[in-house]
């Protein structure tokens, strides 16, 4: 399915770049989709016995996984069993035509299959290969497997997520998977530029643990600077206040006054001008140190009206604020509609559904969905026939 004009598709940043994806579930396929959204010709290599395991994840619409669809648009699917000598030859032939290979097997698996980077660069010296794993290609934990849950536990994310004193909880969004996918896609594009100028490819090692620590810069720097572990604060911020979710008459809303000017605007909205000069609240650091009492003072006032009332008042005053949305609510938001992020797609079985497309625009134009998510092996003839 093509939804964008051919001229625009041909002008996408990665048009003409061929990417081979040998991945399952989330981190690798997300990386591949990011590259495919930018115009790369992405060929997804799947095992003929079931393919990417994400294909079995619900919700299932007439036999097709919508989870799988959300990470595999703009891709072509072929099936190969790399333990089969004939299929291994086909895979290596594909590699000869490729600019990039993405894989998220455990370290050592590609070498055992005979398609490790050392071998592949002999047949394609310019190949950029990105290997995504739980802990990295080398080191004492390299052989350990990992999923988003275990990496969130290992990385410290669970130690700062949830309410003070509560049991460990993971972030509801799989941060470890998707941060690794983002790092991998960024690194691939950087390595491609170098390969085009030098003629030499690279093997990129993308550990999920490292990527997850990389996006925790504020937490790691808090530890390095203070010698103390960051702790759970619920929705609050360790260095700023008011900057959290607040209870009001009909529920909750989020509000973030991250500097003194915004704090003064908050005091004006709640009609408490004396709070501006209260010694406990003179700057963000003091407000953070006293945020428990500050939250209670604010919530005593917020209980007098519903969330929509307070959101309207804070927006009028220029104070960042937001409702606590469900996904059905945010996907129906006026900004999401304006940006046209929700796209109609048709699955291989004919089921019409929707997906969240690329949020990025180039010169005011969104990345098109050029290909619907593929059926398993849908493009065998198209790819191998040529």
Residues annotated catalytic, as ranges: 177
CA dihedral 255, 261, 263, 266 (to 10 degrees): -70
Half-sphere exposure at residue 39, Cβ-oriented, CA atoms within 13 angstroms: 18
CA–CA distance, 285 with 291 (Å, rounded to integer): 10
Q: Cα–Cα distances in Å, from 266 out to 87, 294, 336?
A: 65, 12, 27
CA–CA distance, 320 with 265 (Å, rounded to integer): 11
Instruction: Check if the beta carbon of residue 180 is closer than 8 Å to that of residue 193.
Output: no
């Amino acid at each position: 399915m093509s939804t964008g004009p051919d001229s625009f598709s041909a002008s996408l940043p990665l048009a003409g770049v061929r990417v081979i994806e040998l991945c399952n579930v989330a981190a690798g396929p997300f990386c591949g989709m990011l590259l495919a959204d930018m115009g790369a010709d992405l060929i997804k290599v799947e095992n003929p016995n079931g393919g990417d395991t994400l294909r079995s994840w619900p919700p299932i619409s007439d036999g097709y996984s919508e989870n799988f669809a959300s990470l595999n648009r703009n891709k072509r699917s072929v099936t190969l069993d790399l333990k089969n000598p004939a299929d291994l030859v086909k895979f290596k032939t594909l590699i000869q035509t490729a600019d990039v290979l993405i894989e998220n097997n455990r370290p050592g698996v590609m070498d055992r299959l005979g398609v490790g980077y050392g071998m592949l660069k002999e047949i394609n010296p310019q190949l950029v290969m990105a290997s995504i794993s739980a802990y990295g290609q080398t080191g004492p934990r390299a052989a350990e497997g990992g999923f988003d849950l275990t990496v969130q536990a290992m990385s410290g994310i669970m130690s700062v997520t949830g309410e003070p004193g509560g049991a460990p909880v993971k972030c509801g969004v799989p941060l470890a998977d998707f941060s690794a996918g983002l790092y991998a896609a960024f690194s691939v594009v950087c390595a491609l530029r170098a390969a085009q100028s030098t003629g030499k490819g690279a093997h990129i090692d993308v550990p999920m643990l490292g990527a997850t620590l990389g996006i925790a810069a504020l937490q790691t720097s808090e530890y390095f600077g203070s010698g103390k572990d960051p702790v759970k604060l619920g929705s609050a911020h360790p260095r700023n206040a008011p900057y959290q979710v607040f209870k009001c008459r009909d529920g909750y809303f989020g509000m973030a006054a991250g500097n003194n000017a915004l704090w003064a605007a908050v005091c004006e909205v709640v009609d408490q001008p004396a709070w501006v000069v209260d010694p406990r609240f003179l700057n963000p650091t003091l407000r953070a140190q006293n945020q428990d009492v500050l939250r209670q003072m604010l919530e005593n006032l917020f209980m007098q009206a519903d969330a929509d009332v307070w959101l309207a008042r804070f927006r009028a005053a220029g104070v960042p604020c937001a409702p606590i949305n469900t996904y059905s609510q945010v996907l129906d938001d006026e900004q999401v509609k304006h940006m046209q992020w929700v796209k109609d797609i048709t699955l291989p079985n004919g089921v019409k559904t929707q997906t969240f497309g690329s949020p990025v625009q180039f010169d005011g134009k969104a990345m098109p969905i050029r290909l619907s998510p593929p059926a398993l092996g849908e493009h065998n003839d198209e790819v191998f026939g040529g």
